[in-house]
Structure 1
């Protein structure tokens, strides 16, 4: 009877020890996984901040003007290249130097 009780207690201690070792191993594994995830989060946040800075640099007025000039072949407006569809009507009416107000009756 005492031999069986001792055997049962030894078995309980062994099972308990195995459970403790497994629990400690799982805890270390999860801690490592959390640490990796946090490092990845920090890396992604740094990439995001860099992309925001790049976007802000690309959206400056000088940059937009440069792209418009170089890629789109745009140029500043001047009276020599401006087309006014109302110009013949203004000249025919004899009114020079004055542009009729929008919405005014003709």
Structure 2
């Protein structure tokens, strides 16, 4: 009988220690989960803030201002437009260089004849 009581006491102590350990692990994992959730919230907030900054920096007015100030770009004007016209019918030049023969260089506003203009169609939607 004493032996049985001793075995049961050892099982009870082991069970109690196991229960304490499981509660400790549950608390530790809960704290880790809360920290991970807080980090995820911070990252989501940072992502939204970066998206707002990206939209602000990519605003058309800002891009145009930077292009004119930093790059000295200016709006297109028909008087300074240069159009290169390739001869019709030649798709590749000698030795595969891609040259199509002599190139006509036209200065100023150029209107192509109606027959050589491509028709205005909307592009096919991509799947």
* TM-score, normalised relative to structure 2: 0.65
Q: Does 2:56 correspond to 1:44?
A: no
* Rg comparison, structure with higher value: 1
* Higher normalized helix content (fraction of residues): 1
The runs of 5 or more residues in structure 2 that have no matched partner are: 84-104, 118-127
In structure 2, the residue matched to 1:101 is 113
1:62 aligns with 2:67: no
CA distance in 2, matches of 1:74, 1:22: 70
TM-score (norm 1): 0.76
Do the aligned partners of 2:67 and 2:73 also contact (CA within 8 Å) in 1?
yes
Change (3 A) 1:36 1:15: same
Unpaired segments ≥5 residues, structure 1 = 89-96
Aligned to 1:86: 106
Which structure is higher in RCO with an 8 Å CA cutoff and minimum separation 6? 2
Deviation larger for 57-66 or 78-87: 78-87
- Count, aligned residues: 95
